[in-house]
A and B are shown apart, each in its own frame.
Chain A
Amino acid sequence: MSNKVVQAMYNDDDILMDAVKEVRAANYHIEEVYTPFPVHGLDKAMGLKGTRIAITAFMYGCVGLVFSVWMMNYMMIEQWPQDIGGKPSFAFIQNMPAFVPIMFEMTVFFAAHLMVITFYMRSRLWPFKEAENPDPRTTDDMFVMEVIVDGNEDELIAFLEKTGTVEIKVTEKH
Chain B
Amino acid sequence: MSSHYEAPIRRPLIIGDKNYHDISVDVAAPVEGKANKLWWIAFSIALTAFLWGIGCIVYTIGTGIGVWGLNKTVGWAWDITNFVWWVGIGHAGTLISAVLLLFRQKWRMGINRSAEAMTIFSVIQAGLFPVIHMGRVWNAHFVLPLPNQFGTLWTNFNSPLLWDVFAISTYLSVSLVFWWTGLLPDFAMLRDRAIRPFQKKIYGLLSFGWTGRAKDWQRFEEVSLVLAGLATPLVLSVHTIVSFDFATSVIPGWHTTIFPPYFVAGAVFSGFAMVNTLLIIMRKVSNLEAYITKQHIELMNIVIMITGSIVGCAYITELFIAWYSGVEYEQYAFLNRATGPYWWAYLFMMSCNVFSPQFMWFKRLRTSITFSFIISIVVNIGMWFERFVIIVTSLHRDYLPSSWTMFSPTFVDIGIFIGTIGFFFVLFLLYARTFPVIAQAEVKSILKASGEKYKKLRDGNHE
- Cβ-based interface call for B24 (8 A): yes
Among residues of B, the one whose C-beta sits closest to the C-beta of A138 is: B212
Q: How far is the CB of A125 from chain B (nearest CB, A)?
A: 4
- Of B155, B181, B214, which is within 8 A of A48 by CB? B214
B20 touching A140, Cβ below 8 Å: yes
Q: How far is the CB of A163 from chain B (nearest CB, A)?
A: 17
Given A38-B445, A101-B241, the answer on whether A132 and B211 have CB atoms closer than 8 Å is yes
- Of B170, B173, B212, B448, which is within 8 A of A139 by CB? B212
- Cβ-based interface call for B322 (8 A): no
Residues of A within 8 A of B153 (CB): 80
Q: How far is the CA of A115 from the CA of B229 in the complex (A)?
A: 13
Given A115-B226, A125-B184, the answer on whether A42 and B173 have CB atoms closer than 8 Å is no
- Of A14, A102, A109, which is within 8 A of B174 by CB? A109
Q: How far is the CA of A36 from the CA of B24 in the complex (A)?
A: 10
Q: How far is the CA of A133 from the CA of B211 in the complex (A)?
A: 5
Q: How far is the CB of B186 from chain A (nearest CB, A)?
A: 9
Residues of B within 8 A of A53 (CB): 219, 222-223, 226
Q: How far is the CB of B109 from chain A (nearest CB, A)?
A: 11
**What is the 8 Å Cβ interface bit string for chain A, positions 144-158, against chain B (1 contact, 0 not)?**
000000000000000
- Cβ-based interface call for B205 (8 A): yes
Main secondary structure of the interface of A (DSSP, over half): helix
**What is the 8 Å Cβ interface bit string for chain A, positions 74-90, against chain B (1 contact, 0 not)?**
01100110001101000
Which one, B188-196, B276-284, B357-365, B385-393, is touching chain A? B188-196
B145 touching A75, Cβ below 8 Å: yes
- Cβ-based interface call for B324 (8 A): no
Q: How far is the CB of A70 from chain B (nearest CB, A)?
A: 12
Q: How far is the CA of A54 from the CA of B191 in the complex (A)?
A: 29
- Cβ-based interface call for A108 (8 A): yes
**Is the interface on chain A under 10, 10 to 19, 20 to 34, or 35 or more residues?**
35 or more
A79 touching B158, Cβ below 8 Å: no
A123 touching B21, Cβ below 8 Å: no
- Of A76, A130, A141, which is within 8 A of B20 by CB? A141
- Cβ-based interface call for B1 (8 A): yes
Q: How far is the CA of A98 from the CA of B219 in the complex (A)?
A: 36
Residues of B within 8 A of A48 (CB): 214-215, 218
Q: How far is the CA of A39 from the CA of B220 in the complex (A)?
A: 12
- Cβ-based interface call for A91 (8 A): no
- Of A87, A116, A126, A141, which is within 8 A of B21 by CB? A141
Which one, A1-9, A27-35, A164-172, is touching chain B? A27-35
6 smallest A-B Cβ distances: which pairs? A129-B209, A141-B20, A136-B192, A125-B208, A75-B154, A37-B444
Known contacts A119-B219, A125-B208; can you find 9 more A-B pairs with CB under 8 A? A13-B448, A43-B214, A43-B217, A57-B230, A71-B145, A119-B223, A132-B209, A133-B192, A139-B212
